[in-house]
Chain A
Amino acid sequence: MINLNFIYSELFLAISIMSLLIIGVFKKNSSILIYNLSIISLLVCLALIFNFPISENVELFNKSYKIDYLSSFMKILTISSGIFVLLSSNKYIQITNISKIEYPILVLSSILGMMVMISSNDLILFYIGLELQSLALYVLASFNRDNLLSSESGLKYFVLSALSSGILLYGCSLIYGFSGSTNFFTIADNLTANSHGLTFGIVFILVGLSFKISAVPFHMWAPDVYEGSPTSVTVFFAILPKIAALTVFIRFLYIPFFNLIDQWQMIIVFLSISSMLFGAIAAIGQKNLKRLLAYSSIGHMGYALAGLATGTNQGIQSSIAYISIYLFMNLAFFSCLFMLRRDEKYFDNIKDLSGLSKNHPLLSFSLLIVLFSLAGIPPLAGFFAKFYIFTAVIAESMYFLAIVGLLSTVIAAFYYLRLIKIIYFDNEKDKYETSHNIGLKLSLLFSTIFILFYFIYPGWLTEIIEKINII
Chain B
Amino acid sequence: MDFPILSSLILLPTLGAIFIFFSKSKSNTYLTSKYLALFVSFANFILSLYLWYLFDPSTSEFQFLEERSWIKGFINYKVGIDGVSILFIILTAFITPLCVISVNNTIKTRLKDFLVAILIMESLMIGVFCSLDLVIFYLFFEGGLIPMFLIIGIWGGEKRVYSAFKFFLYTLLGSVLMLVAIISIYWITGTTDVIYLYSIGVDSKYQNLLWLAFFSSFAVKTPMWPLHTWLPDAHVEAPTAGSVLLAAILLKMAGYGFIRFSIGLFPIASEYFVPLIYFLSLVAIVYTSLVALMQEDMKKLIAYSSVAHMGFVTLGIFTFTQQGLEGSIFQMISHGLVSSALFLSVGVVYERMHTRLIDNYGGLVSTMPNFAVVLMVFTLGAIGLPGTSGFIGEFLILMGVFKKSFLVAIIASLGVILAAAYMLWLYKRIIFGKILKNEIKKLLDLNKTELFILSSLVFPIIFFGFYPEPLLNTVEVSIKDLIETYNVNLKINLMETK
Q: Which residues of A contact B (CB under 8 A)?
A: 361, 372, 377-379, 383, 387, 390-391, 394-395, 399, 402-403, 406-407, 409-410, 413-414, 417, 420-421, 424-425, 455, 457-459, 462-463
Contacts and interface: CB of A to CB of B under 8 A. Distances in A.
A310 to B, nearest CB: 12
A417 to B, nearest CB: 6
Main secondary structure of the interface of B (DSSP, over half): helix
Interface in B38-78: 69-72, 74
A425 B173 CA distance: 23
A399 B180 CA distance: 8
B261 interface: no
Nearest to B156: A425
Given A410-B172, A417-B149, A425 B186 contact: no
A372 B71 CA distance: 22
A417 B143 contact: no
Given A390-B183, A425-B160, A377 B177 contact: no
A463 B150 CA distance: 35
Interface in B171-203: 172-173, 176-177, 179-180, 183-184, 186-187
B139 interface: yes
Contacts of B72: 459, 462-463
A347 B471 CA distance: 58
Contact of B161 (A378, A383, A410, A421): A421
Interface in B127-167: 135, 138-139, 142-143, 145-146, 149-150, 153-154, 160-161, 164-165
Nearest to B154: A424
Contacts of A410: 169, 172-173, 176
A402 B177 CA distance: 9
Contacts of B173: 407, 410
Contact of A377 (B71, B146, B160): B146
B151 to A, nearest CB: 11
B139 A455 contact: yes
A413 B172 contact: yes
Contacts of B169: 410, 413-414, 417
Contact of B154 (A372, A387, A394, A425): A425
Given A361-B113, A406-B179, 14 more contacts: A377-B142, A377-B145, A377-B146, A378-B142, A387-B183, A399-B184, A402-B180, A410-B176, A417-B164, A420-B153, A424-B150, A424-B154, A455-B139, A463-B72
Contacts of A390: 179-180, 183
A413 B173 CA distance: 10
A459 B145 CA distance: 25
Contacts of A457: 70
B22 to A, nearest CB: 10
B165 A421 contact: yes
Contacts of B183: 387, 390-391, 394, 402
A424 B114 CA distance: 12
Contact of A406 (B135, B153, B154, B177): B177
Given A403-B180, A406-B176, A406-B179, A391 B186 contact: yes
21 contacts: A377-B143, A377-B146, A378-B143, A394-B183, A395-B187, A402-B183, A403-B180, A406-B176, A406-B177, A413-B168, A414-B165, A417-B165, A420-B149, A424-B150, A424-B153, A425-B154, A425-B164, A458-B71, A459-B69, A459-B70, A459-B72
A453 to B, nearest CB: 12
Decide if the interface of chain A is mainly helix, strand, loop or mixed.
Answer: helix
A425 B161 contact: yes
B187 A394 contact: yes
A409 B176 contact: yes
Nearest to B112: A361
Nearest to B138: A378
Contact of A459 (B71, B142, B146, B172): B71
A377 B184 CA distance: 19
A391 B190 CA distance: 12
A424 B147 CA distance: 12
A425 B160 CA distance: 9
A417 B176 CA distance: 17
Q: Which are the 8 A-B pairs with shortest beta-carbon distances?
A: A406-B176, A378-B139, A394-B183, A378-B142, A410-B173, A425-B153, A459-B72, A459-B71
Nearest to A369: B146
Contact of B139 (A361, A379, A403, A407): A379
A458 B161 CA distance: 33
A263 B71 CA distance: 34
A427 to B, nearest CB: 12
Interface in B95-151: 113, 135, 138-139, 142-143, 145-146, 149-150
A394 B179 CA distance: 11
Contacts of A378: 138-139, 142-143
Contact of B164 (A377, A421, A459): A421
Contacts of A372: 146
A459 B138 CA distance: 18
Nearest to A408: B176
Contacts of A462: 71-72, 74
Contacts of A459: 69-72
A407 B146 CA distance: 18
A471 to B, nearest CB: 19
B7 to A, nearest CB: 12
A421 B71 contact: no
A458 B139 CA distance: 13
B445 to A, nearest CB: 35
B177 A417 contact: no
Contacts of A395: 187
Nearest to B187: A395
Contacts of B69: 459
Contacts of B168: 413, 417
A156 B242 CA distance: 50
Contacts of B146: 372, 377
B139 A394 contact: no
Nearest to A397: B187
Contacts of B70: 457-459
A147 B140 CA distance: 48
Contacts of B176: 406-407, 409-410
B71 A403 contact: no
Nearest to A391: B183
Contact of A394 (B74, B135, B184): B184
Contacts of A424: 150, 153-154
B84 to A, nearest CB: 23
A179 B145 CA distance: 54
B215 to A, nearest CB: 15
Contacts of A406: 176-177, 179-180
A391 B150 CA distance: 30
A394 B180 contact: yes
Given A391-B183, A395-B187, A403 B153 contact: no
A124 to B, nearest CB: 40
A459 B72 CA distance: 6
A372 B139 CA distance: 13
B179 A379 contact: no
Contacts of B184: 394, 399
Contacts of A455: 139
B205 to A, nearest CB: 14
Nearest to A461: B71
A403 B178 CA distance: 11
A181 B70 CA distance: 46
B178 to A, nearest CB: 10
A277 to B, nearest CB: 14
A379 B146 CA distance: 10
Contacts of A425: 153-154, 160-161, 164
